[in-house]
Homo-oligomer: A and B are copies of this chain.
Amino acid sequence: MTGIAFDTVCLVGIGLINSSLARALRCHNLARRLIALDASETARATALRLGVVDEAYEDAESAVAGADLVVIGTPMGAFPAVGAAIGPYLKQGAIVTDVGSVKTAAIRDLGPFIPEGVAFVPGHPIAGTEFSGPENGFAGLFAGRWHILTPPPGTDDDAVQRMVALWQAVGAQVEVMEPRHHDQVLAITSHLPHLIAYTIVGTAADLEEHLASEVIKFSASGFRDFTRIAASDPVMWRDIFLNNREAVLDVIQRFTEDLTALQRAIRWGEGDVLEQRFAKTRAIRRAVIDAKQA
């Protein structure tokens, strides 16, 4: 893709992901005019001050009425309210997408508000950092990362292809997937790891004070990797767990069974069980490295 892909792009919720997308669109000259819609005055002021967008609004009509592409990047809990707010003002021929982490819920919560003549192409960039807010975005966030699109049946194919081209233009590799399947895959690759990291860091936080300070001091022995994951945005993650409940509960169940088996092996001194299990996971690491995702 070369040249302007969309004349006017509206970014709803100008946080880490949408502010990175705005920078990438600017950097690759993919949009003429960038608009933020955000309820937070601080976020709007920061995005304007840093030149991330050209205009920023609190009211939906001013922000979306002229937009050719609308990208919804708020926490998922806000999706029904965002849908209700922007739906009446969406321009005929516009494309709406989102960057939410649970695709069945995005379709359930936004779909009903998308009028005839507007295409809805849900998406999810597999990219992020433990930082949030428009000041932490950067244009290279999507480079070499996956972007998953999950168009519901009947989505306009031309709109899907335009979104594929746009995400490729900012450096991502694009995959099209069934929404439900996406949610199952992400439950294990992303949602369970985050839940576990939040849990283990929380367990440490609850220790007696002198022990907790030593845990921080000696965190290089494994713990610190979990603290980075557990520093992710609390509201965003609350909404992910509430919206991917069944898939997450299913993988927690599998995980707990596996942990209980290892716990039992430790209690009974079954060294061969532990060693076999630990040896198996090295192959997965090699596969991750081979897939250039390490």
Residues of B within 8 A of A283 (CB): 205
Cα distance A214–B278 in the bound complex, in angstroms: 21
Instruction: Say if the beta carbon of A153 comes within 8 Å of chain B.
Output: no
Q: Which residues of B contact A262 (CB under 8 A)?
A: 195, 198-199
Copies in the complex: 2
Q: State which of B221, B237, B285, B293 has its C-beta within 8 Å of the C-beta of A231.
A: B285
Q: Is A194 interfacial (CB 8 A cutoff)?
A: yes
Q: Indicate with 1 or 0, residue by residue over A226-270, a CB within 8 angstroms of chain B CB atoms.
A: 111111101101110110010011011011101100110011010
Q: Which residue of B lies closest to A212 (CB)?
A: B284
Residue A50 interfacial (CB < 8 Å): no
Q: Is A188 an interface residue (CB 8 A)?
A: yes
Contacts of A279 in B (CB 8 A): 234
When distances are taken between beta carbons in the complex, the residues of chain B under 8 Å from A225 are 193, 225, 228-229
Interface string of A134-175 (1 = CB under 8 A from B): 000000000001101000000000000000000000000000
Chain B CB count within 10 A is highest, among A130, A220, A223, for A220
| B-binding residues in A (CB < 8 A) | 77, 126-128, 130, 145-146, 148, 184-186, 188-207, 211, 214-232, 234-235, 237-239, 241-242, 245, 248-249, 251-252, 254-256, 258-259, 262-263, 266-267, 269, 271, 274-275, 277-288, 291, 293-294
